[in-house]
Amino acid sequence: MLKEAVEALDVQAEATYVDTTFGRGGHAKRILALGDPRLKIRHQGFAALSQLPPNSVKGVLMDLGVSSPQIDNPQRGFSFRNDGPLDMRMDSSKGQSVYEWLSHAKTEQIAQVIRDLGEERFANGIAKAITAKREAGQLPDTTLGMAALVADVVKTREAGQNPATRTFQAFRMFINGELEELQQALDASLQVLQPGGRLVVISFHSLEDRMVKQFIAKHSREVYDRRTPFAATPELPLRALGRQRPSAEEIQANPRSRSAIMRVAERVGMAQEQA
77 within some domain: no
Q: What is the pLDDT of residue 249?
A: 87
Both 161 and 183 in one domain: the answer is no
Both 209 and 226 in one domain: the answer is yes
Q: Which domain holds residue 101?
A: 92-175
Q: Domain of 45: which CATH number?
A: 3.40.50.150
Of 145, 175, 205, the residue at which a domain comes to its end is 175
Both 115 and 53 in one domain: the answer is no
Both 96 and 169 in one domain: the answer is yes
Both 124 and 254 in one domain: the answer is no
Of 213, 135, 122, which is closest to residue 166 (Cα–Cα)?
122
115 within some domain: yes
CB atoms within 10 A of CB 120: 26
CA distances from 182 to 23, 25, 134 (A): 17, 20, 32
The tens-digit pLDDT sequence of the chain (275 residues) is: 788 888 898 888 888 999 888 766 678 888 887 777 788 878 888 888 999 999 999 999 998 877 666 666 777 877 888 899 999 998 888 899 999 999 999 999 999 999 999 999 999 999 999 999 999 999 999 999 999 999 999 987 777 788 999 999 999 999 999 999 999 999 999 999 999 999 999 998 889 999 999 999 999 975 555 665 555 556 789 999 999 998 888 888 877 778 899 999 999 975 433 33
Q: What is the pLDDT of residue 250?
A: 83
Give residues with Cβ within 8 angstroms of 213, minimum separation 6. Answer: 243, 263
Q: What is the pLDDT of residue 61?
A: 93
Both 169 and 196 in one domain: the answer is no
The total number of structural domains in the chain stands at 2
pTM more than 0.85 = no
Both 168 and 256 in one domain: the answer is no
210 within some domain: yes
81 within some domain: no
Of 175, 205, 236, the residue at which a domain comes to its end is 175
Q: What is the pLDDT of residue 46?
A: 82
Both 270 and 185 in one domain: the answer is yes
Q: Domain of 134: which CATH number?
A: 1.10.150.170
Backbone angle region of 95, left / alpha / beta, with phi > 0 → left and psi within -120 to 50 → alpha: left
Q: What is the pLDDT of residue 13?
A: 84
Both 169 and 186 in one domain: the answer is no
100 within some domain: yes
Q: What is the pLDDT of residue 275?
A: 35
Both 162 and 197 in one domain: the answer is no
Of 115, 145, 175, the residue at which a domain comes to its end is 175
